[in-house]
């Protein structure tokens, strides 16, 4: 399993961290105002880290966002953990990942892949609505892949990574014809497709049109549809028999 590195984009000075709580109350109110103008909830078609750097902000504005986001995470963590939700440290780690995907600093300017107002809205969705983090950033790390995901498509589970290893242990697997039923994001099909030989084939199918769309996107990113070991994606595909 590939895990992200925790690389904070910016760190607040100790003076900023000691500001009165009224600072956070004001910022939270501003964020609520942002969110009220963003309806329906953001559902990015392209993973955040793949979007162009089309927006910008100042380092101080990003520091303010991060301080507010960390405060919100700590405030809600106790309630979230009651039923198995993320802890404050886990949420703050996710915040670092969000900023990793969304920002790039050049000198005194911070370039963004989405508007700063959207970052406020996305983080409120994560904390208040408990929207899965993978849907917030539009991707999931699985084995050595980074796969696009969105609502309507199941997030690949870490334990399914072992299925690719099981396939690799089958005699003659490199030239086999493999079927991935209910492919979802296409994770398993892509994982198998990347280890097949020149005569190997993977057929992936799903009854969800949204899942097929996401799977096609992921297959295209890894260029398997033009390689020898291709992955064919179908929406309505039936098989007479699976052996």
Q: What is the CA radius of gyration of the chain?
A: 21
What tokens appear for 38 in the block?
A: 């963003």
Q: At what angle do helices 116-128 and 21-36 cross, to 10 degrees?
A: 100
What tokens appear for 224 in the block?
A: 């398997």
pTM: 0.76
What are the backbone dihedrals phi and psi of residue 186, each rounded to the nearest 5 degrees, phi first?
A: 85, 10
Sheet of 201-205, strand order: 177-181, 201-205, 231-234
- pLDDT for 229 equals 55
Of 184, 201, 105, 112, the closest CA to residue 148 belongs to 184
Which letter does DSSP use for residue 9 in this model? S
User: Per-residue pLDDT for the chain (243 aa), expressed as one digit of tens each?
Assistant: 434 433 333 333 333 332 223 333 334 444 444 444 443 443 437 999 999 999 999 999 999 999 999 999 999 988 887 888 899 999 999 999 999 999 998 888 999 999 999 999 999 999 999 999 999 999 999 999 999 999 999 999 999 999 999 988 988 888 888 889 899 999 999 999 999 888 888 888 898 989 999 999 999 999 887 554 556 666 655 554 443
∠ Cα 163 165 170 (to 5°)? 95
- pLDDT for 73 equals 96
- The length of the chain in residues reads 243
Q: Are the C-beta atoms of 50 and 112 separated by less than 8 Å? A: no
- pLDDT for 101 equals 97
Q: Are the C-beta atoms of 178 and 200 separated by less than 8 Å? A: yes
Bond preceding residue 133 cis, omega within 30 of 0: no
- pLDDT for 164 equals 93
Delimit the CATH 3.40.50.150 region(s) of the chain.
Answer: 140-234
What tokens appear for 29 in the block?
A: 């109110």
Return the CATH number of the domain spanning residue range 140-234.
3.40.50.150
């Amino acid at each position: 399993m590939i895990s992200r590195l925790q690389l904070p984009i910016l760190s607040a000075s100790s003076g900023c961290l000691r500001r009165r709580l009224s600072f956070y109350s004001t910022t939270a109110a501003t964020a609520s105002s942002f969110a009220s103008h963003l309806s329906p909830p953001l559902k990015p078609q392209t993973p955040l880290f793949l979007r162009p750097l089309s927006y910008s902000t100042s380092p101080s504005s990003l520091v303010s966002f991060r301080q507010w986001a960390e405060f919100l995470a700590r405030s809600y963590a106790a309630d979230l953990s009651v039923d198995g939700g993320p802890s404050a440290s886990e949420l703050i780690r996710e915040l670092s990942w969000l900023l990793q995907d969304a920002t790039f600093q050049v000198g005194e300017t911070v370039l963004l892949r989405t508007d700063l107002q959207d970052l406020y809205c996305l983080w409120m969705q994560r904390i208040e609505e408990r929207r899965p983090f993978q849907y917030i950033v539009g991707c999931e790390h699985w084995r050595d892949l980074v796969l696009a995901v969105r609502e309507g498509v199941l997030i690949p589970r870490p334990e399914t990574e072992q299925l690719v290893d099981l396939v690799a242990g089958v005699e003659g697997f490199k030239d086999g014809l493999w079927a991935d039923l209910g492919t979802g994001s296409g994770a398993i099909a892509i994982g198998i497709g990347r280890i097949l030989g020149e005569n190997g084939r993977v057929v992936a199918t799903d009854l969800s049109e949204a899942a097929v769309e996401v799977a096609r996107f992921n297959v295209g990113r890894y260029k398997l549809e033009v390689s020898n070991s291709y992955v064919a994606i179908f929406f309505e595909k039936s098989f007479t028999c699976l052996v």
